[in-house]
């Protein structure tokens, strides 16, 4: 655990020293929030749209932006740099637990995501958004979004460990877009067409999005718990696959 | 006495589309404690593959390797505690400072933060990088990176130090500095396993050496004994250079070496 924290601290230092890599993770999700609300906001007025529970459409859209911000997986891109530059071999040749080798960066990803999510929510407040579940709900939002960030970074780290290629790892972040749009992204699941509803039901991102949305619009404990269950399950699978990949790394 | 490095029948096979490629085909090694052992060979001969197996970075297809008395395949973590590794092209993190990198390495080897900082300071002094220690590695020259890599390989005072082509790409002055460091480290009791393309380097530094070609060791001995043997066989009236020993051992003439060097990916 200590080694993972040491490597996590180094990864955070790395992020702080490349602030330019943080800008897109903040600006692109904000861009999507503004554009989506600008295009569909009038269709769903707060006063007459039941699923908004009295809030603006921006509140309904915010989870998509939070998930997008948590899905850049930059941890994996830095890992490829380590692999290509030889530093990863230096670490592998040291008596560091194989789990720490991959978990260290995920720790850093969690911390980074908590901060990014908090900043995004604060920036979004002028859009008429409030976190209906209060301070505790706000904290759960941070945890749920960062748990997804860790899970997706774990998926991208897996690509990095298997391919050792920056191009392949980079393209892993694009895979998130179909996952993001095969969800109740613009309307609740019950209003989707049947094919979209089926796709969304099989998409794990749906449950995390619904969990986040529930915390913003008014907490439904079951929906929130389901979101956590899905992300924790997927996260555990990713960590296990990462550890297996680094153990068999040749 | 336990050998610093012992390998028996070491084999590494890589799967490939056209069938398996045998990069190392049964290497035997016996490196005594306190030796500087040179491992030479043409490009693709299997040098780096052998080093990567001995340093736990690559799985062993067959054969046995022990480093500092510990079996590499069955207890890689114990081996990692006993070895220092500076690989080709100094694998460093360009965003850290030299001091941060060495301190982190020391902490990863289990030193407490204060002890790790002290160790980093003394190692930076050893490799003459105190002034540059707080600068990011990105701005270091090739020679500075190699010296820092060497320092980071020494944080835990390893029994055996592996240096894979430590001076490739360095200017002559930087090369001499690295040689001095290797001698100093060895004088303190650390066994050194050194791969190099530079025969002068092997001649200057190594107590004994082995030449690998096509994944097999083709010659082994002290630099002096290898030269004397070639002199006897050829009936020369002067000692040959290590270059000539190398070229004969690998079946290359100077003309072939210039125009037809075998390239095998290892």
Residue A217 has pLDDT above 90, yes or no: yes
Q: Residue by residue, what is the 3-state secondary structure of B196-257?
A: ECCHHHHHHHCCEEEEEECCEEEEEECHHHHHHHHHHHHCCCCCCCHHHHHHHHCCCCHHHH
Residues in B closer than 8 angstroms to A3, CB to CB, are 108
Does any CB of chain A come closer than 8 Å to the CB of residue B135? no
Please say whether the beta carbons of B240 and B229 come within 8 A: no
pLDDT band at B265 (very low <50, low <70, confident <90, very high): very low
The stretch A15-26 carries a mean pLDDT of: 89
Q: What is the pLDDT of residue B85?
A: 94
Q: What is the pLDDT of residue B253?
A: 53
Q: What is the pLDDT of residue A128?
A: 83
pLDDT band at B100 (very low <50, low <70, confident <90, very high): very high
Secondary structure class of A6 (helix, strand, coil): helix
Whole-angstrom CA distances from A59 to A56, A140, A223, A241, B265 are 6, 16, 17, 35, 56
Does any CB of chain B come closer than 8 Å to the CB of residue A250? yes
Q: Inter-chain contact B108–A14, Cβ cutoff 8 Å?
A: no
pLDDT band at B264 (very low <50, low <70, confident <90, very high): very low
Query: Residue holding tokens 């049964």?
Result: B26
- Shortest Cα distance, chain A CAs vs residue B28, angstroms: 22
- Selecting from 3.30.70.270, 3.90.1560.10, 3.40.50.2300, 3.40.50.300, what CATH number does the domain B5-221 have? 3.40.50.300
Question: Cα–Cα distance between B230 and B186 in angstroms, integer?
Answer: 29
Q: Residue by residue, what is the 3-state secondary structure of A19-34?
A: HHHCHHHHHHHHHHHH
Residue B263 has pLDDT above 90, yes or no: no
Q: What is the mean pLDDT of chain A?
A: 93
Domain membership of residue A42 as a residue range: 2-247
Residue B262 has pLDDT above 50, yes or no: no
Q: What is the mean pLDDT of chain B?
A: 90
Query: Residue holding tokens 């001499």?
Result: B176
The stretch B96-119 carries a mean pLDDT of: 96
Residue B257 has pLDDT above 60, yes or no: no
Q: Inter-chain contact A95–B58, Cβ cutoff 8 Å?
A: no
Please say whether the beta carbons of A18 and B95 come within 8 A: yes
Q: What is the pLDDT of residue B252?
A: 65
Q: What is the pLDDT of residue B256?
A: 47
Q: Inter-chain contact B85–A95, Cβ cutoff 8 Å?
A: no
Residues in A closer than 8 angstroms to B145, CB to CB, are none
The interface predicted TM-score (ipTM) is 0.88
Cβ neighbors of A242 (< 8 A, separation 6 or more) are: A102, A103, A106, A154, A157, A158, A161
Q: What is the pLDDT of residue B4?
A: 97
- Shortest Cα distance, chain B CAs vs residue A74, angstroms: 15
Does any CB of chain B come closer than 8 Å to the CB of residue A87? yes
Lowest mean pLDDT among A103-107, B101-105, B150-154, B261-265: B261-265
Residue B23 has pLDDT above 70, yes or no: yes
- The residue among B63 and B254 whose pLDDT is bigger is B63
* Number of compact structural domains in chain A: 1
pLDDT band at B261 (very low <50, low <70, confident <90, very high): very low
Q: Inter-chain contact B108–A93, Cβ cutoff 8 Å?
A: no
Residue of A6, A82, A93 with shortest CB distance to B104: A6
Q: What is the pLDDT of residue B115?
A: 97
pLDDT band at B239 (very low <50, low <70, confident <90, very high): confident
- B128 burial via Cβ count (<10 Å: 0-12, 13-18, 19+): middle
Q: What is the pLDDT of residue B81?
A: 96
The stretch A166-187 carries a mean pLDDT of: 90
Q: What is the pLDDT of residue B17?
A: 84
The stretch B18-41 carries a mean pLDDT of: 94
Kindly report the number of other CB atoms within 10 A of residue B249's CB atom. Answer: 20
**CA quadruple A186, A188, A193, A196: dihedral, nearest 10:** 70
Model confidence pLDDT, tens digit, residues B123-142: 999 888 999 999 999 999 98
Residues in A closer than 8 angstroms to B157, CB to CB, are none
Residue B260 has pLDDT above 50, yes or no: no
The pLDDT > 90 percentage for chain B reads 67
- Shortest Cα distance, chain B CAs vs residue A109, angstroms: 17
Residue A177 has pLDDT above 50, yes or no: yes
Q: What is the pLDDT of residue B57?
A: 95
pLDDT band at A1 (very low <50, low <70, confident <90, very high): low
Q: What is the pLDDT of residue A174?
A: 86
Residues in B closer than 8 angstroms to A13, CB to CB, are 95-96, 100
Please say whether the beta carbons of B157 and B89 come within 8 A: no
Residue B220 has pLDDT above 50, yes or no: yes
Does any CB of chain B come closer than 8 Å to the CB of residue A93? yes
Angle B56-B57-B63 (CA atoms, 0-180°, nearest 5)?
55
pLDDT band at B238 (very low <50, low <70, confident <90, very high): confident
Q: Which residues of chain B form CATH 3.40.50.300?
A: 5-221
Q: Which of A77, A94, A247, A249 to mutate to test the interface with B (most CBs of B within 10 A)?
A: A94
Whole-angstrom CA distances from B183 to A244, B125, B146, B207, B247 are 40, 16, 15, 11, 27
| B residues 52..111 contacting A (CB < 8 A) | 55-59, 77-78, 80-81, 83, 85, 87-96, 100, 104-105, 107-110
Residue A170 has pLDDT above 80, yes or no: yes
Q: Two tokens at A186?
A: 């613009």
Does any CB of chain A come closer than 8 Å to the CB of residue B128? no
Residue of A14, A17, A93 with shortest CB distance to B55: A93
The stretch B206-212 carries a mean pLDDT of: 95
């Amino acid at each position: 655990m200590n080694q993972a924290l040491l490597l996590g601290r180094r990864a955070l230092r790395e992020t702080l020293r490349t602030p330019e890599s943080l800008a897109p993770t903040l600006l692109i999700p904000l861009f999507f929030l503004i554009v989506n609300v600008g295009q569909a906001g009038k269709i769903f007025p707060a006063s007459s749209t039941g699923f908004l529970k009295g809030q603006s459409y921006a509140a309904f859209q915010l989870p998509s932006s939070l998930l997008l911000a948590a899905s850049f997986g930059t941890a994996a891109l830095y890992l490829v740099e380590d692999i290509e530059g030889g530093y990863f071999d230096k670490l592998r040749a040291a008596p560091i637990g194989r789990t720490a080798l991959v978990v260290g960066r995920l720790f850093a990803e969690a911390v980074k995501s908590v901060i990014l999510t908090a900043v995004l929510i604060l920036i979004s407040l002028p859009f008429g958004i409030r976190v209906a579940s209060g301070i505790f709900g706000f904290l759960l939002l941070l945890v749920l979004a960062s748990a997804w960030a860790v899970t997706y970074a774990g998926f991208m780290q897996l690509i990095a460990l298997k391919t050792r290629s920056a191009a392949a790892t980079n393209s892993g972040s694009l895979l998130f877009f179909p996952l993001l749009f095969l969800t109740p992204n613009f309307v609740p699941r019950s209003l989707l067409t049947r094919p979209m509803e089926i796709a969304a039901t099989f998409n794990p991102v749906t449950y995390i999005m619904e969990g986040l949305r529930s915390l913003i619009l008014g907490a439904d404990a079951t929906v929130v718990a389901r979101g956590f269950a899905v992300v924790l399950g997927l996260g555990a699978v990713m960590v296990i696959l990462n550890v297996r990949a680094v153990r068999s790394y040749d | 006495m336990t050998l610093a490095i012992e390998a028996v029948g070491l084999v590494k096979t890589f799967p490939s589309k056209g069938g398996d490629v045998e990069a190392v085909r049964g290497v035997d090694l016996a490196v005594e404690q306190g030796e500087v052992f040179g491992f030479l060979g043409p490009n693709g001969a299997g040098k780096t593959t052998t080093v990567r197996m001995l340093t736990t970075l690559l799985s062993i297809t067959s054969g046995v390797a022990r480093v500092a008395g510990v079996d590499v395949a069955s207890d890689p973590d114990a081996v990692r505690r006993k070895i220092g590794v500076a690989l080709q092209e100094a694998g460093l993190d360009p965003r850290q400072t030299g001091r941060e990198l060495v301190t982190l390495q020391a902490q990863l080897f289990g030193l407490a933060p204060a002890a790790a900082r002290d160790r980093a300071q003394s190692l930076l002094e050893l490799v003459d990088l105190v002034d540059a220690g707080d600068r990011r590695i990105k701005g270091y020259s090739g020679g500075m990176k190699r010296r820092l890599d060497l320092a980071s390989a020494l944080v835990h005072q390893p029994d055996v130090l592996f240096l894979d082509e430590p001076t490739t790409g360095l200017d002559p002055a930087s090369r001499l500095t690295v040689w001095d460091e290797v001698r100093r480290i060895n004088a303190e009791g650390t066994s050194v396993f050194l791969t190099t393309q530079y025969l002068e380097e092997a001649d200057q530094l190594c107590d004994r050496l082995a030449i690998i070609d096509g994944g097999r060791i083709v010659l082994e001995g002290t630099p002096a004994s290898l030269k004397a043997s070639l002199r006897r066989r050829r009936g020369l009236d002067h000692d040959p250079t290590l270059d000539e020993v190398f070229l004969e051992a690998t079946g290359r003439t100077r003309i072939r070496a210039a125009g037809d060097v075998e390239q095998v990916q290892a």
